[in-house]
Structure 1
């Protein structure tokens, strides 16, 4: 509508409104008024609790958007598919935003009590804390073992781990994709391909370079490094088969 287009382009300060500010205009009501007390003021409770864990600023509605996003994902994980705007529409006329504020506090208090903020602050900001909370808050975690493992992995940052913010999710979930591990350069792969006479190290068939992939002989999780000595060239089929074991 014409009114919505106007909202998108201007506010009192003359800046373009972001997505959450537009949603606030559409779903104004008692729920939003109460939510803003917790999430949208300069030194609000959400900011004081989560400034080291959540990206953005309260006055541009980043904390409110994150809380709504976490709650929508939480409901979706619990079998009730939800979105930010869906949640705002459903609760627009509620007199309080207490469930939203309580869940946000529970998530961040769990993060703060489970992980050593003094040690790991640099890798804790911007994580999907709600997902980790939902998966693990009722599990009996060995906090000291987790801390030790995180410390070990932080030593591998730059050498092998290219995404330090993935360390905590990796330690809990175990998926190496979180770490964005180093891969072999084309220079290394070409040299190994030539050394192997263009043949796959597993099946022995000959392949063009573009049809082969660099593989760690000893996997990273077993101490293998991304070096030429630890590289073998496999055809795609053998590499997939090896990766699925």
Structure 2
């Protein structure tokens, strides 16, 4: 097996003295599609934000490409130099629950912005790349449309195109469909499924259990301040061994028919 592209070693995060998770160990290999499940408050979104260092973990180490990010021997944000933060966030793209698009920019402008400001790409070249990524997510006809004129599903697809434009090695999806009308969920999941088929390395926080089963290579269930159970979708989602995983899945299947 190839070396991990991302490794979490003993990662821990607290807020106001309350532990969210501690001792999280996770290896992510190229092409992995890892769904992260758990009850509300289990730390799923916080874990993603720590991977991208939008939140600062108090404990543990993050490695990407075999290199440790920052200096894990020191406390506080100072252990992550700004240069390393920028590099990490270019290599690890993130798609948020609430899109986070710039309302004063068109769809193409939103996708091109990081290329211009971070990669220093010429504006014309950045727009061409933005148009290509919008075509990938089925929105080439919305390039000059502002977010206020887009549906929720279209906004999320623009957000995915924006992440893809930066050529990340890993994509993080933080409940990308939870803010959408049910009728729009499928169009976003379809794009994520397409990326999975392309072999993209992805970590996905989701409550879409059926989607997680069909798309994931691994499933991680968070509970009791850490990784409570992990394994293949077949084992975790069809034959969970631990009581909190069983309870969670039973609740999510309660009203299915």
TM-score tier (shorter): under 0.3
Structure with the higher strand share, 1 or 2: 2
Larger Rg: 1
Structure of greater relative contact order (alpha carbons < 8 Å, 6+ residues apart): 2
Return the TM-score normalized by structure 1. 0.25
Return the TM-score normalized by structure 2. 0.24
